[in-house]
Amino acid sequence: TVRAVMEEFLKSKDAQASRDAALVDMIEGLEVYFDKALGTMLLYEFELVQYRKICSETPDFRPSQMYGCEHLLRLFVKLPLMLREAAVPTAQAQALQPRIAELLKFLEKNVEQYCVATYDPADLEYVEMVQRATAT
């Protein structure tokens, strides 16, 4: 999960760095951004039906506790736009860049651990459900 990736990233840092308030704040902030953006910016149409179903069945649902690395990587593609739209000051956004680069290097180094190598195709029932949902 995104949460597990973030925890492992922090564990990979030395003791002093893992307690760095700015790093911890960045991790927490990325999780908040992920949770807020998943359903509106990060999922493909085909994935939205499942997401909406989970949200309706689970009131306290936090996507960062269910979705994984592949979805987290989509966040990094959208992050510059999200930061601009949130009016994050340029200096603050630039200060995040080295830490985000560290996190991306961590993901690259551990890609086999966090990313799925093969995907199971969606079953026919789900495909039909998506077709019905998107036809309306």
Give the mean pLDDT of 24-36.
94
pLDDT band at 127 (very low <50, low <70, confident <90, very high): confident
pLDDT band at 19 (very low <50, low <70, confident <90, very high): confident
112: tokens are: 């086999």
Q: What is the pTM of this model?
A: 0.86
Q: What is the DSSP letter of 22?
A: H
Rounded CA-CA distance 135/69 in Å is: 30
Q: What is the DSSP letter of 86?
A: T
Residue 29 clears pLDDT 90, i.e. is over it = yes
pLDDT on residue 119:
67
Lowest mean pLDDT among 64-68, 116-120, 126-130: 116-120
pLDDT band at 136 (very low <50, low <70, confident <90, very high): low
Under 8 Å CB-to-CB from 48, ≥6 apart: which residues? Answer: 39
Phi then psi for 48, rounded to 5 degrees?
A: -65, -35
pLDDT on residue 60:
93
pLDDT band at 132 (very low <50, low <70, confident <90, very high): confident
